[in-house]
Amino acid sequence: MSHVTTHVLDTARGRPAAGVPVRLDARDGDWSTVATAATDDDGRARDLGPDALPAGVYRLVFDTESYLGEDCFLPEVTVTFRIIDPTAHHHVPVLLSPFAYSTYRGS
């Protein structure tokens, strides 16, 4: 399993958001891409990058326009977070609706 995983839930439809492209970036002065994936039928991206990452600042960038459509209000969602413990797994879910989103540190 990847060191960082995510799960996108479509709260307006009450189901997982399948097929959302997601990118994991690391900040080391500039942003660099670590991995890319797309959510599966259960809305999860389990294979997003390596099984270990050093401490640092990372971001997940969700291409929500490809899921919500080209006229959507939120064409992209970016969640920036810090890894302090490089031995811990980091699960960063997104609850998505057409006009809002929320996130939290999952397990």
Query: Percent of the chain, pLDDT > 70?
Result: 100
**Beta strand residue intervals within 1-107, DSSP E:** 4-10, 15-16, 21-28, 30-38, 44-45, 56-62, 77-83, 90-91, 94-97, 100-103
Find the mean pLDDT for residues 86-99: 96
Q: What is the pLDDT of residues 13-34, one digit of tens each?
A: 999 999 999 999 999 999 999 9
Number of H-type helices and E-type strands within the chain: 1, 10
**pTM of structure:** 0.95
**Residue 70, H or E segment:** none
94-97 and 4-10 strand pairing: parallel
- Domain spans, the chain: 4-100
4-100, which class in CATH?
mainly beta
